[in-house]
Structure 1
Amino acid sequence: MDNTALIKKIKWQLYLLGKFKIPMIGYTGLKLVEITETTTKVKIRLKRRTKNHLNSMYFGSLAIGADVAGGLHAFYFANKYGKTVSFAFKGMECEFLKRAESDCIFVSEDGKKVEDAIKKSIETEERINETTNVNVLNIENEVVAKFKLIVSVKCK
């Protein structure tokens, strides 16, 4: 499968996930901006549904963006290798550096770590845990939050 078709398939899977399995993804209006073998970028707009009483991005919206940015590589590599992936987050650590008072881009550059976990899971047929980092950037390209997520994957 070429990369363009793979990206289109992942966008469709993300839409279906937000529509039927995890409605909060759909509720935030999260959009896939970029996905490569190393980097994932997703965007959440600051709007009525995603902001808090301080007119900054709500913690739950930030967590959803980090969740998707940190987890999309699992779908990407499972599709690439023609496998079904079962994945969940086992832990999360977050640091808020400043208020997110604009649209936000969630960036994960740990694609290689997730690919290695997927490969190891395919080889061993066991669940593998890997820590991924997600930085949240505002429209001025400032880091407003940092997330560390423990992704747990198992491939069949």
Structure 2
Amino acid sequence: MSLFKANWGLKLFAWRYIPLIGFCSPKIVRMSSSTLEVTMPHSWRTKNHLGSVYFGALAIGADLAGAFLVFSKAKARGINANFAFKDVQGQFLKRPEATVHFTSNDGDIIDQMLDESLASGERVNKPVTVVVTCPSLHGAEPMATFTLTLSVKAKTKR
């Protein structure tokens, strides 16, 4: 899936099902079979009273980076995949005071989850990791890390 199509899919999904995602204006900037990177601007919509990106906006970005690959991989395979997060753990390391990047390199884990769920017919739960950076101010140094337990149930389309 091209970045253009992925971003249109993200916008349509956000405005139709979860408008709060669209309100934060995320954008997919890198997507491969193993990696997804999403950016979110540092704006009046996403920052808190201290001038850093609000933890709720950080959670939205982590959600997208951890789950959008499920959506795109299921679509590419022609299967239905219902997914949600069972829990989340966040570690806030530094205040992100500019545009933030959310990166997940867990595409292989998502492939395994889809395969396992298709084979068993059951829901599969595994942790995925998202690293938040603020490249314009701190390069690749993590501002926060999230571990989210992704829960996926896949089935073939009828």
Task: Determine the structure 1 residue equivalent to 2:128.
Answer: 132
Partner SS, residue 91 of structure 1: strand
Q: Secondary structure at the match of 2:150?
A: strand
Spell out the pairing of 1:143-154 with structure 2 (5 A cutoff): 143-154=142-153
Secondary structure in structure 1 of the residue aligned to 2:122: coil
Q: 1:153 to 1:64 in 2, by over 3 A?
A: same
Pick from 49, 72, 94: which aligns with 1:76?
Answer: 72
Q: 1:81 to 1:66 in 2, by over 3 A?
A: same
| Structure 1 counterpart of 2:42 | 46
Q: Give the alignment's TM-score, normalised by structure 1.
A: 0.93
Q: CA deviation at 1:11?
A: 2.5
Specify which of 100, 103, 109 is matched with residue 113 of structure 1: 109
The whole-number CA distance in structure 2 between the counterparts of 1:59 and 1:45 is 14
Q: Percentage identity across aligned positions? A: 39
RMSD in angstroms over aligned alpha carbons?
Answer: 1.1
Offset of 1:8 from its aligned partner?
A: 4.3
1:34 matched to 2:30: yes
Q: Which residue is 2:96 aligned to?
A: 100
Asked if structure 2 preserves the Cα contact closer than 8 Å seen for 1:93 and 1:147, the reply is yes
Q: Unaligned regions of 5+ residues in structure 1, if any?
A: none
- 2:118 alignment partner, one of 93, 117, 122: 122
* TM-score for the superposition, normalised by structure 2: 0.92
Q: 1:44 and 1:147 mapped to 2: Cα distance? A: 16
The DSSP-based 3-state class of the residue aligned with 1:84 is: strand
**Aligned partners of 1:84, 1:16: CA distance in 2, in Å?**
18
Letter in 2 for 1:45: P
**Which residue identity does 1:47 align to in structure 2?**
S
Aligned to 2:145, the other structure's residue is in SS state strand
Deviations 1:60-94 (A, max 9, x none): 00000000000011112101211011100001001
- CA distance, structure 2, for counterparts of residue 143 and residue 155 of structure 1: 32
**Partner-residue secondary structure (3-state), 1:105:** strand
Q: Does 1:62 align with 2:58?
A: yes
Q: How many residues align?
A: 152
Q: Which of 10, 23, 36 in structure 2 is aligned with 1:14?
A: 10
Q: 1:115: Cα distance to partner?
A: 0.8
Determine the C-alpha separation between the residues in 1 that align with 2:58 and 2:42: 10
AA matched with 2:129:
N
